[in-house]
Structure 1
Amino acid sequence: MIPLSSRKEIVEELSWSALDHRAVDTARVLAMDAVNRAGSGHPGTAMSLAPAAHVLFQAVMRHDPGQPDWSGRDRFVLSAGHACLSQYIQLYLTGYGLALADIEAYRTWGCVTPGHPEFGLTAGVETTTGPLGQGAAIAVGMAMAARYERGLFDPDTEPGESVFDHTIWAMASDGDLQEGVYLEATSLAGHQKLGDLVVIYDDNRICNDGETLASWSENVVARHEACGWHVREVGPAPSGDIDPRELFAALTEAKSVRDRPSLIVLRTTIGWPAPTVGGTSTAHGTPFSADELAATKRLLGFDPDRHFNVDAEVLEHTRRARERGRAMRRSWEQRFEQWRQDQPRRAQEFDRVQARRLPGRWHTEMPIFEPGQDIPTRVASGRVIAALGGVLPELWGGAADVAASMNTTIDDGSHFLPAGSPLTGADPYGRTVSFGVREHAMAAIMNGVALHGGTKIYGGTYLVFADYMRPALRMAAMMGLPVVHLWSHDSIGVGENGMTHQPIEQLAGLRAMPGFKVVRPADANETALVWQEVLRRQFEDPAPHGIALTRQPTPVLPFDPDAARGGYVAREASEDPEVILIATGSEVQIALLAREILESEGTPARVVSMPCVEWFDEQPAEYRESVLPSAVRARVAIEAAATLSWHRFVGDAGRIIGIDRFGECGPYEVLYRHFGLTPEAVVANARESIEAARVHTTI
């Protein structure tokens, strides 16, 4: 590698004083004290990354501690979430609102400084992190969102000159780089040439179990260069610490690289300068002994008997970040106001999107399907996406290499790809994203898009592969992110693809995830309506949604607006019902056919379509009672999936028709008969339930 000092393109220099040095050492001492006070935590990485965090927050990042949500800011993602003290201490020192008492309260009940960063809890924390690899993939999503947003509002300005240009900074560890989601995401980032993304890799070569050599020996530089990244190596300095000037030069260079993402390989010594545990796995995740803590403080020039010691002049010095941030924001606001004057229509659209408002009468563009047709709900969803494309410019998305099957292409002539891509229709600001066979990264990237703000993202794959996505889905649920997942091939209706592609336990597992909404529409009209409801809800009360769609055709039913309530009476009984048939998705048609048989026999039967259990649970008790009256204890739930979700709806006299084993290969019609998902089976179970209800009532 060419030494940074000899690169002529590096013209900026870092102003570094004794107070900066003292501030870095103060951060190290605070990290040690916080972990020791809590009795647990990760001191070593926070100590070794203290110079990098200081350089970023004091001299490199565009941010304003006084206005953490300023839309023109750079974003910072701590992918190595266990090193959260690196971030918390900077948020305190630079004046984001954290007090020294918050650092002292690290990892305690009710604190705003938990053991890993949490979105929405602490000002300045852009995302929840902790599961390794997620943060880096989220940062990729933020960089993709930044480019798409620029295309919406300021596409003609030269790169680096737009008010919408900013940098996404991420800090990652060895553990991040070892996770598969990291490789998926960074591969796509290189392909997309995301010049606004810079990842700082803390190469301390230590993991929880000891040296990384026990499990890892790949060439990280070569890997990233092969994926199309700009890479620079920094350190190690002779002392074992980071040279802040060398790092500043590398970061400044990376920020100027516009045609590809950048990786800074930062060679650190974990726990530096602890005399005994520094450079060892002991520094990773355990408090220091009293002797080690005292010895380290002495090396740094601190009184070992004083804890959480911050010199007034150090705090005054680091709080200058507020003045710097305020000046940067005001300068940006002047440029932004000029853009508003030059682009009044785009500014109006920007204001609408920022205010989380849907355009007027947008829902009038939604398709309504005539009964009498048989349409797979995945096809209906595709028609909805096409209709939405004309009224929601902020909506974009794609699929994990199954777009043709999923019908997720919002604009087949506009592919989100970097300038110079040989693919026909390539457009840096295109609306259709090809995520490749990267389901996990797709979900995590979507989280990053949602966190960045300014646009609306969806992504599609087959339901069975939601298992590949689950860690990122869980992150979305914890953060309440307005992402839309489309999952086709939602049952044994996949048919000939066999058991590997036939979801069984996925619906129940996803419904078990707090905060995640699972929607399984019965037909084309329910599909259009639930799409509308998902968008309405996500603009008003953000939460991740997954829409499960059929591969096989389903009969189109009359449009019923009550589908937006999550459960409704799809077909009423001829008189007071003796039995209620509850179904989702394609099984609603089976319930309707079973009702005809029961009614012909003189058994009044009501059919309830339950597209979203979570929405139904949110309805007033009076409404839920009107749909599922407690007096009607004979009930049958029908869903071509695991039965786990339905016991609470059918009660002790009810019956559930589902599949609690893996599927088989064959045409879907054969499979439905084989597994007892037929009108006749529903009728038989309805009779059993009616009899069971009578027996229990008599007893």
Structure 2
Amino acid sequence: MDFDQICINTIRFLCADSVEKAKSGHPGAPMGLSPLMYVLWKNHLKFNPENPEWFNRDRFILSAGHASILLYSMLHLSGYDLSLDDLKSFRQLHSKTPGHPEFGVTKGVEATTGPLGQGFANGIGIAIAEKILSTKFNRPSFKLVDHYTYSVVSDGDLMEGITSEAGSLAGTLKLGKIIYFYDKNNISIDGSTDLTFKEDVATRFLAYGWDVQKNIDANNIEEIDKSIENAKKTINKPSLIIINSQIGFGSPNKAGKESSHGEPLGEEEVELTRKNLKWKYKPFEIPEQLDDFKNSCIKNGDKEESEWEEILKKFQMNFPIEFKEFKNIISNNFSENWDSLLKEEFKKDIKEIATRSASSVAINAISEKTPNFVGGSADLAASNKTTMKNRTIFQPDSSTGTNLYFGIREHAMGAIVSGISLHKGFIPFAATFLVFSDYMRPAIRLAALSQLHVIYVFTHDSIGLGEDGPTHQPISHLLSLRSIPNLTVIRPADYKETLSSWYLAMKRNTGPTALILTRQDVPSISKYMELDSKQGPYSGGYTVYQKDKNMPPELIIISTGSEVSLSVRSAIKMSDLDINIRVVSMPSWEIFLEQPKSYQNSVLPNNVKKRISVEAGSTIGWDRFVGSEGKIIGIDRFGFSAPGKIVMDELGFSEENIINVCKSIL
């Protein structure tokens, strides 16, 4: 058995044995793809195991995340900080080898994948980031940013709608540094893909504008190697290499069958596979020849990074200003005085404005001072108010543009901005109507799990949008977003709160933030004087009005967004009542609940039981703030097609109804 085959079979059996020990997992795809991974790692992938975060490394995304043990095996064998014991702990509590790859858990894992199609679209975002930076900073003889994005995608990935969205956009944008491998093993959990998936994938991707190579034999390493070389020569198109593989390769009784997909082969079958492939080594025994493979990976990685560092030094001498900007960007550092224009805009006396329009002010103030600020909308830029007026559009002929046009592709957009964040060097945002956040939910969830610094701009946030009717009026969406762990949801009440919310979103970098914004104008009611004042979104909730500030409150109205000004007007109309009313603006539940208990109690005193919440959305969850004796004004039904004010009145969002509900608990 030659060196190449020893390496390939080592990968195969590490995968099969790890799944067997875990008593769960997916051995089939890893066994079929071992030759591909070997060739990619040995001959093409640019990486440094001793510095997994080297900026100019190639990125490898395992979109087929169920094959995670294949990636873990490669990381171990190529010298990453992943031990044999880590492989033996596959799928166990608190291990570095979870069932599906998780960004931040395992060094060398570039993206959290598993929900099929997500990694495919993440890779498009990574390639967009590479394209912007390489166009902006590269000079003749100075290739500062020059890496490929590779991914393994499965039959299941390509069945998911998100890959159609992302694949179409990648072809339109001519992203030539993408090389994806389609593992065409023709098997899904339910059996042959002939049951559900008969399209000509090659023709489909040619129509998207990709370069396609097909019928590459998964066990022919020369063919695989040549196909990758060919893909690298394709400059202005993403590449899809279709690999004809056999799931569970080498297993006498389960190869080519769905039984090898999502469960261990079984001890007896693993032993039969050893005999079939003439493999004399015991489980987790690694032939000494693999030391040469590991040492070669480490040596090559160190050499490539050292050469890049030399280029960087020469670039610094020749282009000192550009070098400083580049270092700031790749370190995700803010530019000096990045918030200066935002602070100037904050001081303006704006009487009334839709919070989506206030958001536009913030976006443009930030973009003037923050070169690594990038984003766009799913064909709703004019409605979401997200266009950066001082920036160009990212297109094949203007690839330094940072206004991203995603087309009507919300799901792909969500995963693409995650990819941009994963790449490092940018703070990305994505925008659509709040009701269409449902289309983005899987990507938002993974961004939260991955602790990515991504900002979502969701406008048209309630029944207040009016005539478009219940198909476009969000009801459950605030609740839905608030239920995602590590996602910060902020629904500002007016101009100042919106600018403060953007400031917060830029600073909160351990998870995504969703800004929930109105279509309709709202009056300015907040009085705080500093962008980052505790009397604002920075505290999550604060007193915006109180009848008598020198006396404790007796009734508290808690509101968010456009309902805050309505609540204040209602409270003022009740000033003739002999009761001290407080109105609390609570733009963010999550941020408010992060505050010390003492602060929470100062805003919502425990002894004040008479409380009312007012929010044009689902009532679920508000009981934690109003308590068992309080009342909730919300919506647990669909809306109507009519002017926004009429719909609001019809569903109880009027001064009259708020006053009546207040009186009912006095």
Residues in 2 aligned to 1:320 and 1:525: alpha-carbon distance in whole angstroms: 57
- Any idea what SS the aligned residue of 1:42 has? coil
The 3 A distance-change label for structure 1 pair 371 and 336 is closer
| 8 Å Cα contact 1:234/1:246 also seen in 2 | no
> In the aligned structure 1, how far is the partner of 2:140 from the partner of 2:78?
32
Partner of 1:115: 99
Q: 1:432 aligns to what? A: 403
Are positions 1:376 and 2:354 aligned together?
Answer: yes
Deviation at 1:320, TM superposition (A): 1.8
**Is 2:479 the partner of 1:508?**
yes
SS at match of 2:480: helix
**Corresponding position of 2:511:** 543
TM-fit CA distance, 1:57: 1.2
Greater mean alpha carbon deviation, residues 272-281 or residues 559-568: 559-568
Matches of residues 493-504 of structure 1 in structure 2 within 5 Å? 493-504=464-475
Tell me the CA shift for residue 682 of structure 1.
Answer: 1.5
Distance in 2, matches of 1:26 and 1:360, equals 51
Q: Which residue of 2 aligns with 1:405?
A: 383
Residue 651 of structure 1, aligned match among 609, 627, 637 = 627
How big is the shift at 1:413?
Answer: 6.0
1:194-239 CA distances to partner (integer Å, 9 max, x unpaired)?
A: 0111111101111111110000110100010100001112433xxx
1:387-402 map, 5 Å: 387-402=365-380
CA separation in 1, counterparts of 2:561 and 2:266? 59
Per the alignment, residue 102 of structure 1 pairs with 86
1:311 aligns with 2:279: no
Matches within 5 A, 1:188-199: 188-199=169-180
- SS of alignment partner, residue 98 of structure 1: coil
Aligned to 1:477: 448
**Counterpart amino acid of 2:580?**
P
2:238 aligned partner: 261
Q: Which has the higher mean CA deviation after the structures are superposed, 22-31 or 372-381?
A: 372-381
- Whichever residue aligns with residue 642 of structure 1, its letter is S
Alpha-carbon distance in structure 2 between the residues aligned to 1:280 and 1:194? 35
TM-score normalised by length of structure 1:
0.92
CA distance in 2, matches of 1:467, 1:502: 12
Alignment-mate amino acid for residue 553 of structure 1 = D
Q: Which residue of 2 aligns with 1:567?
A: 541
Structure 1 residue 659, shift from structure 2 partner: 0.4
Structure 1 distance, partners of 2:194, 2:346, is 60
Asked if the contact 1:48–1:269 (Cα under 8 Å) also holds between the matched residues in 2, the reply is: yes
Partner of 1:4: none
* Residue 169 (structure 1) aligns with: 150
State the secondary structure of the residue aligned to 1:460.
strand
In the TM superposition, residue 497 of structure 1 has moved relative to its aligned partner by 0.2
| C-alpha distance in structure 2 between counterparts of 1:362 and 1:205, whole Å | 51
Aligned counterpart, 1:8:
none
Alignment of 1:467 onto 2:467:
no
Superposed CA offset, 1:271-309 (max 9, x none): 1111111111111112113332111101222237x2112
Contact 1:598–1:604, Cα closer than 8 Å, also in 2: no
- Cα distance in 1, alignment partners of residues 29 and 637 from structure 2: 46
| Separation (CA, whole Å) in 2 of partners of 1:360 and 1:689 | 52
1:230 paired residue number: 211
* 1:95-494 superposed matches below 5 A: 95-154=79-138, 156-157=139-140, 162-236=143-217, 241-303=218-280, 306-366=282-342, 367-368=345-346, 370-371=348-349, 373-411=351-389, 414-419=392-397, 427-494=398-465
Q: Distance in 2 between matches of 1:620 and 1:505?
A: 29
Tell me by how many angstroms 1:441 deviates.
0.4
For the 8 Å contact 1:196–1:255, the answer to whether it is kept is: yes
Say if 1:662 and 1:111 are closer, same or farther in 2 by CA, change over 3 A: same
- Deviation digits for residues 528-566 of structure 1 (CA, Å, limit 9, x no counterpart): 11101111222xxx2101101000000022442221211
Corresponding residue SS for 2:620: helix
Which residue, out of 665, 670, 680, partners 2:641? 665
The question of whether the paired residues in 2 share the 8 Å contact of 1:369 and 1:556 is answered with: no
Contact 1:412–1:432 (Cα < 8 Å) also in 2: no
Tell me the SS of whatever aligns to 1:169.
strand
**Contact 1:511 / 1:645 at 8 angstroms: preserved in 2?**
no
Is residue 354–residue 518 contact of structure 2 (8 Å, CA) maintained in 1? yes
1:370/1:558 contact within 8 Å kept: no
Structure 2 counterpart of 1:144, one-letter code: I
CA offset at residue 458 of structure 1? Answer: 0.7
Map of 1:46-125 to 2, 5 A cutoff?
A: 46-125=30-109
Do the aligned residues in 1 keep the contact of 2:367 with 2:390 (CA within 8 Å)? no
SS of corresponding position for 1:500: coil
Cα displacement string for residues 30-59 of structure 1 (whole angstroms, at most 9, x for unaligned residues): 111111111111001001110111111111
Give the C-alpha shift of residue 386 in structure 1.
1.2
Residues 563-599 of structure 1, C-alpha deviations (whole Å, 9 max, x = no match): 1211111112313211011000000011101110222
Is this contact kept in 2: 1:371–1:557, CA < 8 A?
Answer: no
Corresponding position of 1:684: 660
The whole-number CA distance in structure 2 between the counterparts of 1:247 and 1:378 is: 50
Structure 1 stretches lacking a partner, 5+ long: 1-16, 420-426, 691-699
Deviation larger for 593-602 or 656-665: 593-602
**In 2, Cα distance between the equivalents of 1:683 and 1:39?**
61
Instruction: Tell me, yes or no, if the aligned pair for 2:355 and 2:495 is still in contact at 8 Å.
Output: yes
The CA deviation at 1:86 is 1.1
Aligned in 2, Cα 1:615/1:151: closer, same or farther, shift over 3 Å?
farther
CA distance in 2, matches of 1:251, 1:234: 13
SS of residue paired to 1:357: coil
- The DSSP-based 3-state class of the residue aligned with 1:72 is coil
* Preserved contact between residue 84 and residue 115 of structure 1 (Cα < 8 Å): yes
- What is the CA–CA distance in structure 1 between the aligned matches of 2:505 and 2:116, rounded to whole Å? 30
User: Where in structure 2 are there 5+ consecutive unaligned residues?
Assistant: none
User: What SS does the corresponding residue of 2:624 show, helix, strand or coil?
Assistant: helix
One-letter amino acid of the structure 1 residue matched with residue 65 of structure 2 = G
Residue aligned with 2:474, SS: coil
Which residue of structure 2 aligns with residue 693 of structure 1? Answer: none
Distance in 1 (CA, whole Å) between partners of 2:602 and 2:135 is: 48
Report how far residue 76 of structure 1 moved.
0.5
Specify the code of the residue in structure 2 equivalent to 1:35: V
Q: How does 1:631-646 map to 2 (within 5 A)?
A: 631-646=607-622
For 1:629, give the aligned amino acid: P
Give the residue type in structure 2 aligned to 1:437: I
Aligned residues: 656
Greater shift in the superposed pair: 323-332 or 77-86: 323-332
Please give the alpha-carbon distance, in whole angstroms, between the structure 1 residues aligned to 2:363 and 2:421. 18
The answer to whether the Cα contact below 8 Å between 1:113 and 1:122 also exists between their aligned partners in 2 is: yes
